[in-house]
Structure 1
Amino acid sequence: MTLKIAVIGAGPSGIYVAEGVKKKLPDTMVDFIERLPTPFGLVRFGVAPDHQGTKKVINQYEKFFDQEGIRLLGNVEVGKDISVQVLQEHYDAVVIANGAREDKKLGIPGEDLDGVYGSAAFVSWYNSHPDYKDLSPIPEHAKSAIVIGNGNVAIDVARILVKSAEEMADSDLADHTRIAIDNASISDVVIAGRRGPVEASFTPPELRELGKLEHALPVIEGAVIPDELPSHIDTSQPAGRIKGKVLDIFRSFTEMKRDGKDKTIHLQFLASPTAFLGEGKVEAVQFERMELNEDGKPTGTGELFDIPADLVVSAIGYYSQPLEGVPFDEQLGRYPNEEGLIKDNLYVVGWGKRGPSGTIPTNRPCSFKTSQIIMDQVIADPAKQGGAAIDKLLADKGSKVTTFTDWKAIDAVETKTETRQKIASVDEMLAAIEEAI
């Protein structure tokens, strides 16, 4: 019997779970139910526009979609155009793979001031996500920005803000975003974290990029880089070795000369935000200075200090969005599951499964584990019509469902120029499809 599977979301984790099943059960029929007309999720809208090498994984994904039995049902929103429960009725298995696109909140005073954004919104804006095309987050004459968080997303945001047009020439940064950044001419970006350099979550490749910027110098603030890792970190393990490399990079920053660079990225450690300050719009962030105990955990000292800012981006993590009728842990921001199984024939992969952690390659083994569980548990039901039933339901509703062929029409328009210019409007995407017919 042929398995019929619906995957909610056409990003990496969803593609990998389908790939895992198709490798062992080639006759499996998989429909990707995607809210936007475009597939590839996190790769398209999460990876920084100047990381084109990372985005080349899309070439592999396109080959996967060209397989028999794989369909894209784009421009279909689960929970609005169709429910999870209806999908469960018509497919042998339903997999939630819609990622995590809601920003975690700091919960401190002033978080609603103009000029304070979460990284999910800010990154989506500079990656031309249709939901954020009208955001306009950068004040025209902004000179300073603060990015709160000590992970790779914080580095991405800081790097994009200080790179010149020449440095971004090979990126797919949208013209309107480039204009906004150039008009602002931000010269100081602070990356602030409540922990110290040893505890930072940067990875070596991302951190190393800050030392290669043409116009910006990385400067360590608020902490001294130790000569060696503390004893509680096991350097025989991969995580310990990574921290050792990160410290080496920090040390290299302390030896760098300005050499005419007119911008600065301040790596501000041991600083915990307590309030956003300003009248109507953000003007500064108030921090409490922290200190570390023997285990590397930060505690407050009671000392407060302010750092001026025209723009603040909080990059402290993401939450998944709940779906009607599906169990959801509001505190953790993900779907409770046992190795990917939520209940009945409903599964979850990616950030909705384990929380917003890991990179694109991390999703592959994680999704493969869930694909094996699906194959072990699910028996094909000949009574379930799969895509045929869903096609009729959506047609009866008048939904404008887009296909993978339609995506290729969008892709052709976006790649007419030397560097991709993403279409940031669903209506314009649908118009491009119509023109191609």
Structure 2
Amino acid sequence: MLPRTQQFLRASASVRSISARTISSLKACIVGAGPAGYYTAQRLLKRNDHIHIDIIDRLPVPFGLVRFGVAPDHPEVKNAINTFTQTATGFGDRCRFIGNVEVGKDVRISELEKHYDILVMTYGAENDRKFGIPGEDAPGVYAAREFVGWYNGLPKFADLAIDLSKAKSAVVFGQGNVALDIARLLLMPIDKLAKTDICQHALDAIAASTLSSIHIVGRRGPLQASFTIKEFRELTKLPGVQGHVPSYAENINIDELPRPKRRVAELMKNKAGSSGDADGGKSWHLDFLLTPREVLTSNGRVSALRCTKNKLVGDDIMSQRAEPTDESHDISCDLIVRSIGYQSRCIDERIPFDTKTYTIPNEHGRVVGKAGLYCSGWVKRGPVGVLASTMTDAFDTADSILEDIDSGLTSSSQTGETHHWSHSLGKDLVDFTGWENINQEEISRGENKGKPREKIVNINEMLRIAKR
């Protein structure tokens, strides 16, 4: 591992000048320090010795969704951070992290275009989809993005006042892996949860929880649920928790299903018709064929989710669509988490953006009509896939960049760098050494509590520790 020469970046006269690079070098900027950003950087750095990359993030800490989206009880998924760290530290000053910079606010794309030959947007999906129904903004209704950010220490949501001490029943609407993660963590034995890197404020709230049942609800049927076997199996194995799958799931024909879907369907069939809450214990319920119509409230708080019952239409069982019927169904609840997907946003007017798909129009990562501008990750393809698909997608974008370099479509601007754009921002920035200071502090705090780490959730505290 090469020594890290870049020290803490600070927008003041004390920051040393970043030396000029040779004319033959290519300067790239990646906006977003999550998995898509680091996988893109990894591919570029390994395959072209003349590329120098700055990876910018609006937070003082890197790794994006791996840090703030992966469930606390899935530490094996977070091992990807080791790979990202190797990319960040293994290429000397050819790869630099610049944290606490919000592109579109602190610095515009037009400014970055003056300093870089290549710009890659990998900033993910920061907004959440909404139901668009009456009562959706009532107290006790949360987006999955908020809820996950709350227990994973995303600074924006760390102060959410989520009170579970009087809640009896919750609805998690959506049937993807994030929905199952939320349900599982709310039902997990607290002694097991306390050994993860869940934030202390969330651990305390869940420890005080009186939730006894969680309904995991979807618009379509069992075969259209998008969670995978690993997450579903974990839910079924929670100690002291009863699971309930509708009895009609016993009739699922699994013979012609693809293997991943068949494994999920087999487990559903085994659980179909099983009892729900037993002897006052905890339970989860899979509810299908329901579309939210209205959030009902009592005394200013959520009291129920009113749904329309659906029927499936179409010959292909894998792609059947849900059509509403005249029947309705109410699910009593004290908490609703809306887990129906995320949306990217346009962060700068110079970036083309499709407001229907919430993605940047592109061809293999090349932004349509914008030479030298690329995209990767969720802002490129939508909020779908797992870490492996993010890596494949990032490599696809990186290969497009490398092809454009080889063909001469992308080349060095041949302007020496004498003053880095970040020097004039007038705010504290964090380099990778600063992040490592934060990392060590979090690990130390976690050791005192018997946890892998205790995340720091206050940005000012992060900046202070980064300066050490």
Amino acid at match of 1:31: D
* 2:64 alignment partner in structure 1: 41
* Equivalent residue for 1:358, pick from 377, 382, 385: 385
Cα distance in 1 for residues equivalent to 2:416 and 2:307: 57
Cα distance in 2 for residues equivalent to 1:310 and 1:261: 18
SS at match of 1:225: helix
SS at match of 1:347: strand
Structure 1 contact 114–282 (Cα < 8 Å) conserved: yes
1:97 aligns with 2:122: yes
Structure 1 contact 273–288 (Cα < 8 Å) conserved: yes
Correspondence list, 1:1-400, <5 A: 1-67=24-90, 68=92, 69-221=94-246, 223-229=248-254, 235=257, 240-254=258-272, 262-279=281-298, 280-293=300-313, 294-295=315-316, 296-325=320-349, 326-342=351-367, 343-378=370-405, 379-385=410-416, 389=419, 391=420, 393-400=421-428
* 1:424 alignment partner in structure 2: 457
* 1:410 alignment partner in structure 2: 438
Structure 1 contact 277–285 (Cα < 8 Å) conserved: yes
Amino acid at match of 1:324: D
RMSD value over aligned CA atoms? 1.8
Structure 2 contact 164–210 (Cα < 8 Å) conserved: no
Structure 1 residue 185: Cα displacement: 2.1
Residue by residue, what CA displacement relative to the aligned partner does 1:220-251 show, whole Å, maximum 9, x if unpaired?
13743324238xxx54xxxx211110111112
SS at match of 2:224: coil
Cα distance in 1 for residues equivalent to 2:338 and 2:377: 22
TM-score (norm 2): 0.87
Cα distance in 1 for residues equivalent to 2:416 and 2:235: 53
| Residues 223 and 86 of structure 1: CA distance in aligned 2, closer, same or farther (over 3 Å) | farther
Amino acid at match of 2:441: V
Amino acid at match of 1:2: S
Structure 2 contact 245–273 (Cα < 8 Å) conserved: no
Structure 1 residue 23: Cα displacement: 1.7
Cα distance in 2 for residues equivalent to 1:385 and 1:356: 38
Amino acid at match of 2:86: K
| Residues 385 and 304 of structure 1: CA distance in aligned 2, closer, same or farther (over 3 Å) | farther
Amino acid at match of 2:456: I
Structure 1 residue 34: Cα displacement: 0.8
TM-score (norm 1): 0.93
Query: Structure 1 segments of 4 or more deviating over 4 A?
Result: 255-261
| Residues 341 and 297 of structure 1: CA distance in aligned 2, closer, same or farther (over 3 Å) | same
Cα distance in 2 for residues equivalent to 1:229 and 1:395: 60
| Residues 424 and 47 of structure 1: CA distance in aligned 2, closer, same or farther (over 3 Å) | same
Structure 1 contact 144–311 (Cα < 8 Å) conserved: yes
SS at match of 1:427: helix
Structure 1 contact 349–367 (Cα < 8 Å) conserved: yes
SS at match of 1:362: helix
Amino acid at match of 1:288: T
Cα distance in 1 for residues equivalent to 2:143 and 2:391: 27
Structure 1 residue 136: Cα displacement: 1.8
Structure 1 residue 211: Cα displacement: 1.1
Structure 1 unaligned spans of 5+:
none
Structure 1 residue 138: Cα displacement: 3.3
Cα distance in 2 for residues equivalent to 1:2 and 1:310: 58
Residue by residue, what CA displacement relative to the aligned partner does 1:93-112 show, whole Å, maximum 9, x if unpaired?
00001111210011111111
Residue by residue, what CA displacement relative to the aligned partner does 1:363-408 show, whole Å, maximum 9, x if unpaired?
111111111111222433243456x64x3x3222312110000000
Structure 1 contact 143–186 (Cα < 8 Å) conserved: yes
| Residues 399 and 222 of structure 1: CA distance in aligned 2, closer, same or farther (over 3 Å) | farther
| Residues 222 and 356 of structure 1: CA distance in aligned 2, closer, same or farther (over 3 Å) | farther
Structure 2 unaligned spans of 5+:
1-23
Cα distance in 1 for residues equivalent to 2:67 and 2:171: 25
Structure 1 residue 151: Cα displacement: 0.6
Structure 1 residue 148: Cα displacement: 0.4
| Residues 90 and 323 of structure 1: CA distance in aligned 2, closer, same or farther (over 3 Å) | same
- Number of aligned residue pairs: 425
Residue by residue, what CA displacement relative to the aligned partner does 1:32-81 show, whole Å, maximum 9, x if unpaired?
01111110001000101111111111111111110221100001110111
SS at match of 1:94: strand
Structure 1 contact 116–311 (Cα < 8 Å) conserved: yes
Structure 1 residue 362: Cα displacement: 0.6
* 2:5 alignment partner in structure 1: none
SS at match of 2:250: coil
Structure 1 residue 259: Cα displacement: 7.8
Cα distance in 1 for residues equivalent to 2:125 and 2:101: 18
* 2:3 alignment partner in structure 1: none
Residue by residue, what CA displacement relative to the aligned partner does 1:181-214 show, whole Å, maximum 9, x if unpaired?
1212211100000111111111111111111101
